[in-house]
Amino acid sequence: MPIERIELPDKEVILVGTAHVSQSSVDEVRAAIREHCPDEVAIELCQSRFEVLKNPGGWQDMDIIRVIKEKKTSFLFANLVMASFQRRIGERFGVKPGDEMRAAIEEAEVAGMPIALVDRPVQLTLQRAWKSLRMWEKIKLLFSSLFSILAVDEIKEDEIERLKDKDVLTSTIEEVARQAPTVKRVLIDERDAYMARRIVDLKGRKIIAVVGAGHMEGLIGQMKNPVDDIDALEYVPPGKKGIAKWIIPLVILVLIGAGFFFGSPEQGYEMVKWWLLCNAVFAALGTAIALAHPVTVLVATLASPITSLNPTLAAGWFAGLSEAYIKKPKVSDFEAIQDDIVHFTGWWKNPVTRILLVVILANLGSSMGAIIAMPILTRIVLGG
């Protein structure tokens, strides 16, 4: 297991790198804390993830309608996708996701050592990552998330252990940076800087920090030259302001207007027809793939052509609310989430995750419909 000692002017920090889903990581975390007897144990968790570990049944308190209304569906979906991936690996090797963090918490509590939660709140991280992506990158990321539900079967235990090797890890991070530099910066680099500052600010003279192996190299560099202020890393940039978010809807309206005024009424009506058709069909298709109720499919079909012209609205929100009201989840459905997301079909079987799929796929379908409609409208105008 990767262990690094860092000597700072007022403290010694012992970094313990884990593979997150590995029995050897669990055993070695316990051994490291017992051997070094630190003054404080820092853990790569935020308060919300800590509470989930301490209270796995907390799902039953979630209000899915509130999640949709507060526009947090994508963040919840991303959390569940990551949980699904780790849980399925863990089931294959007899380890629950987060067992190494549970081990660190248990060892610290038994020994009476203070516990420091040093990671940035997961919702802030996901919001910063999401806000930094372009529209096409968001669509690509959501598709990747959907396909990743099936991507665990070929992973072997020795491959998980090799994730703790620095050379393999470095090349992996470089590949992530090449494929998605923004996501890599927010998920890894920024959190390295955040956690390093939090660890440096701890009062203990000897600190053990239990972190994912992917953060080891970044933390070492950041702790030697920590950021002055982490407030900037907690800031979520606002969405597009003013006219910027209306550019695409305005372009659509200008194209349709040009068809009516510079072409002919028939040309204008043809453009309106294609706009309605593209949006309605793809939103309906996405919602149907989520196995939504027929009424919900109809809601997405009717909402998409309108919401695509209003950046403050989304077809998926209306579809998700419809599905939630028609098939309101029971407490038992929330309790079953963690077991159901392990299996691909479980995402459609569980009413809670199916509602999330309705929102995500309806929005994807609506966006694809708008993208496909634009060149069609342009060709009609130019052809006129």
Question: At 43, phi and psi to the nearest 5?
Answer: -130, 140
Q: Structure pTM?
A: 0.72
Among residues 283, 289, 284, the alpha carbon closest in space to that of 354 is found at 289
Q: Give pLDDT tens digits for 335-382.
A: 788 778 877 788 899 998 999 999 999 999 998 999 899 899 888 888
Q: Taking the CA of residue 329 as centre, how many other CA atoms within 13 Å lie in the half-sphere pointing to its CB?
A: 27
The pLDDT tens digits for 229-278 are 888 898 887 765 556 577 878 888 888 888 888 888 888 899 999 999 99
Give pLDDT tens digits for 108-140: 999 999 999 999 998 888 788 877 777 677 776
Which one has a higher pLDDT value, 144 or 366? 366
Residue 323 has pLDDT above 60, yes or no: yes
User: How far is 179 from 172, CA to CA, in rounded Å?
Assistant: 11
Tokens coding 285:
């298709």
Give the mean pLDDT of 322-336: 85
Q: Using 50, 70 and 90 to split pLDDT, how confident is the model at 168?
A: very low
Distance CA 238, CA 145 (A): 24
> Which of 17-26, 43-52, 55-64 has the highest mean predicted lDDT (pLDDT)?
43-52
d(CA 177, CA 233): 19
Main-chain phi, psi angles of 383, to 5 degrees: -75, -20
